[in-house]
A and B are shown apart, each in its own frame.
Chain A
Amino acid sequence: MSRKASFADRRDALVRRPFPLLVALSMSRIFHGSNAGEEEMNLSMGVVLALLALPGGFVSIFLFDKYGSLLQWLRGESGFDPLAAAFPDEYFFIVLSMVVTAGVAVWWWDSIFPDRRDFATLVPLPLPLSRIFLANAVAIVILTCLFALDVNAASSLLFPVVVGASQTRVEFILQFAFAHAVAVLLASIFSFFAVFAIAGLLMLLLPSTLFRRISLYVRTLLVTVLLLMLSSSFAVPSLILPLPHGSRSVLRFLPPAWFLGLCQWLRGRAGGALIDLAHTAVLALIVASVTAVAAYALSYRRCFIRLPEIADIPHGHLGTGSRWIFRALDGIFLRTPLQRAGYRFVWKTLLRNETHALMLGGFAGLGAVLASQTLFSAFSPSGPAPSLTADTLSVPLTLSYCVLIGIRFVFDVPAHHPANWIFRFSPAGGISETPGLALRVMLSSTLPWIFLVVFPMAFHFWGWRVALLGTILTTIWVVTLSEILLIRFGKLPFACRYPAFRHSAVVVVLACVLGYFAFAGVTSEVEVAAIASPVAALPLVVLSLGVGYAAHRIRRKSMHSDERMLFESEPDASFAVLHLSDGN
């Protein structure tokens, strides 16, 4: 107890000195973000660290089935080489550590550099600017190391134990653990510094207004690249292994491959291209770190000191160029004042609010990754047209599913909740209007590109009949899914405080995964059957319309038109009084 108390006293005494205090303040700002306290999605440091550590631990435990000696003996496997078997898993762990760490860096993109609040608070104090700069740099280094350790701690402990389950020598486990830990840690540090370097270079090279405008799109692109890297992690290792020394393969540009080469080199099992990749890993780490530090120093000088002179432009600001779109839509399908005002509000929030745009970008990026994999596998190298299979037809369905689920998910994430008074004071506020508005947003995010991109492409490859039928069926399924997602939706998007998914996150995730297979898998099979047999197509179209209509009726029935919109939904109580003594 006394030792604990003295440690706490020493820590408090340390943080009460100016420089450590500045470092702690910078760490806190980076962690909480620029909008800390104003958004409702903030999590504590402990929760975030626990969440980040989970994937590595879970994956390691799941791999026990592959490496357990008893299980191998039961399967009748002999001559098992754990190092060879661990090659693809090692690649996966490297990708996982890079994706998680880079994801964190992308999320904290704006907080890496001191912001206006820091400027307003710290600069008027008698502190040299160099000390603020140095404290922020130290905070970045500490957080980078902390997150790199946290993301990789579980896999560095568990994965070597799992792989060494069939081994009798402790040295094997220790050597394996060393190489694994070094590779994943350096991969994490590289990915953090790489994102940091990109942010710093853009800040340095672009005018500040342009940087603010495009940084949201750059971050969305980075999220998509990370998802692409993750989804390709099962296919890449088998392609790397046979590469010869000095290979000119495009795989040499893949950052996880560099660190896989480094890991194999540390184990003394690097041959062929793996040695080149190991050298690239070291070089890339140095380049990323130096670039990040240099860009940080120069952009700090350029941007932080000039902060009061720079206008505070929101991310992804579109200017006034989008007005004509809204005016055109007013005449077509935005009928009530609430729909007109709400539709503009929803789209501008989706495109400009950092949290919402990033979340939606993540879902859309996931959709793009899944769809692109299907699309690439559908194109045969010999023929110009992709084959007409359920997989090919599932591409627009996959994309639509991810976008619709993403939009529905972000509808529940509040956007500066105190600002919802403007809608509360609106005379139009019937609950029946909200699903209509949300439905219009969801449909206008999917149907335009189905009509303008998917239909012409299908027409080009397979003719008008396939294009028309495919587009009709896809439209029906998109409308049906949107109707299902909006059952019991009585809020104005973003204007309600409490996200409904918090209490049922696991169920929601499972439902989304199952829904994906039903929506993109089953419906594309239906489309193939309909296209193959024109006679069978008509009942299928009618059936699909029937399902869509049923979803529409259920959604309408779940709402009572005389109710008001929800603005202050509260979490479910963690306990309930049962009134057992009432005797009823």
Chain B
Amino acid sequence: MPVQKGFVLQAIELTKNYSSVPAVQNVTFELRAGEILGCLGPNGSGKSTTVKMLTGLLQPSHGRVLFRGEDIRKDLVSYRKYLGYVPEEPNLYPYLSGREYLEMVGILRGIPEPRLGKRIDSLLTLLSLYPSRHSAMAAYSKGMRQRILLIAALLDDPELLILDEPLSGLDVSSALILKSLIRSLGGQGKAVFYCSHVLEVVERVCSHLLILRRGSVLASGSIADVRQRIGHSSLERAFHHLVEDVDPEQVTRDIIAAMSAP
């Protein structure tokens, strides 16, 4: 696939093998400024591996990731200046307080001191973490940790946001804020790659869709296009039609039988 101008992020035939076992095969897509691309797929479909390759945490076995037309591997440090990333697992230092962690991220990102402090405080307040900013993160709930990760990703006003299950553990109001925030960021011209299991959220938030199954792209394009192509009005039905090769009702019956088996 040729390199094209105008894209913020391009994945070109991304492939990753773990000891010759393919986890991701020939994944190709583009993301423009202002687009919100939802990545859907069942467990083990290669979503997290794709995200790790997009962030440069994992080197692809084959293929390239381009940021503004340049291979990210050429200068990962510069690429990450424009990148905000929320990982799937909230791997935080439990002995640091929320504010200390954000200060550390800000200093390592090179954000100047007065601006950093103000930005941290306002984001902590907006995401309801200000009262517990000095508590050790060991005492934080999963949702609080997730919000800290989100603030860390937004701290440097990134051009590209990669979010891996960002709603995990969030309460209803925080989830509503985040969904609205993602849409607004898209409106401001940021490019967002949003990875999730939750079809309903992807349908509401994202403008485009990438469906993965067993490491390969099953469908991609705008949500309306995908629905139309599959011939289903709801995304859930379209997704099920594409991805699931099991009968949920049959599996339910089998589980109940297994629970009461002698």
**Which residues from chain A sit less than 8 Å from chain B, CB to CB?**
16-18, 21-22, 25, 28-29, 32, 36-38, 42, 116-117, 119-128, 308-309
Contact = CB atoms under 8 A, between A and B. Distances in A.
A18 B81 contact: no
A120 B93 CA distance: 11
Given A16-B107, A308-B57, A126 B81 contact: yes
Contacts of A42: 95
Interface stretch (B27-35, B108-116, B191-199, B200-208): B108-116
Contacts of B89: 120
B227 interface: no
Question: Which of B55, B77, B87, B89 has most chain A Cβ within 10 Å?
Answer: B77
A117 B91 contact: yes
A124 B95 CA distance: 21
Question: Which of A16, A117, A121, A126 has most chain B Cβ within 10 Å?
Answer: A126
B105 A125 contact: yes
B18 A28 contact: no
A127 B108 contact: yes
B91 A36 contact: no
B107 A126 contact: no
A72 B77 CA distance: 70
B91 A28 contact: no
20 contacts: A18-B108, A28-B95, A37-B137, A37-B138, A38-B94, A42-B95, A116-B91, A117-B92, A117-B93, A120-B87, A120-B91, A121-B92, A123-B57, A124-B55, A124-B80, A124-B83, A125-B105, A126-B78, A127-B80, A128-B77
- The range of chain B's interface size is 20 to 34
A207 to B, nearest CB: 11
A124 B91 CA distance: 12
Contacts of B224: none
A308 B52 contact: yes
Question: Which of A16, A124, A127 has most chain B Cβ within 10 Å?
Answer: A124
Contacts of A17: 107
B230 interface: no
Contact of A37 (B87, B94, B103, B105): B94
A128 B79 CA distance: 12
A309 B77 contact: no
A121 B80 contact: no
Contacts of A29: 93
Question: Which of A22, A25, A121 has most chain B Cβ within 10 Å?
Answer: A121
Given A16-B103, A28-B93, A38-B94, 13 more contacts: A16-B113, A18-B107, A29-B93, A36-B95, A37-B136, A116-B91, A119-B57, A120-B89, A120-B91, A121-B105, A124-B56, A126-B80, A308-B52
Contacts of A28: 93, 95
B126 interface: no
Given A308-B58, A309-B18, A309-B58, A21 B107 contact: yes
In the A-B complex, the 4 residue pairs with the closest CB atoms: A37-B94, A37-B138, A120-B91, A126-B80
B108 A22 contact: yes
A22 B109 CA distance: 12
A25 B138 CA distance: 16
Nearest to A13: B113
B193 to A, nearest CB: 13
B85 interface: yes
B104 interface: yes
Contacts of A309: 18, 58
Interface in B119-163: 136-138
Contacts of A37: 93-95, 136-138
B52 to A, nearest CB: 6
Contacts of B55: 124
Contact of B108 (A21, A32, A308): A21
A111 to B, nearest CB: 12
A22 B57 CA distance: 19
Nearest to B81: A126
Interface in B37-95: 52, 55-58, 77-81, 83, 85, 87, 89, 91-95
Contact of A125 (B78, B87, B109, B113): B109
A549 B103 CA distance: 63
A38 B92 contact: no
A38 B138 contact: yes
A119 to B, nearest CB: 8
B256 to A, nearest CB: 21
A32 B18 CA distance: 32
A319 to B, nearest CB: 19
A126 B113 contact: no
Contact of A36 (B18, B79, B94): B94
Question: Which of B79, B91, B105 has most chain A Cβ within 10 Å?
Answer: B91
A22 B58 CA distance: 22
A568 B113 CA distance: 44
Contacts of B109: 125-126
A159 to B, nearest CB: 36
A44 to B, nearest CB: 10
Contacts of B110: 18, 126
Question: Which of B58, B81, B95, B138 has most chain A Cβ within 10 Å?
Answer: B95
Contacts of A117: 91-93
Nearest to B19: A309
Contacts of A36: 93-95
Contacts of A124: 55-57, 80, 83, 85, 87
A66 to B, nearest CB: 44
Contacts of A126: 77-81, 108-110
Given A126-B109, A126-B110, A25 B104 contact: yes
Nearest to B156: A126
A580 B85 CA distance: 61
Interface in B207-260: none
Contacts of A38: 94, 138
A345 B9 CA distance: 48
B108 A125 contact: yes
A474 B91 CA distance: 50
Contacts of A18: 107-108, 110
Nearest to B101: A121
Contacts of A121: 91-93, 105
A22 B107 CA distance: 10
A308 B18 CA distance: 11
A33 to B, nearest CB: 10
Contacts of A123: 56-57
Contacts of A16: 103, 107, 113
Contacts of A120: 87, 89, 91
A123 B80 CA distance: 9
A29 B58 CA distance: 23
A127 B91 contact: no
Nearest to B93: A117
Nearest to A115: B91
A17 B104 CA distance: 9
B95 A32 contact: yes
A32 B138 CA distance: 13
Nearest to A33: B95
B93 A125 contact: no
Nearest to B79: A126
B1 to A, nearest CB: 26
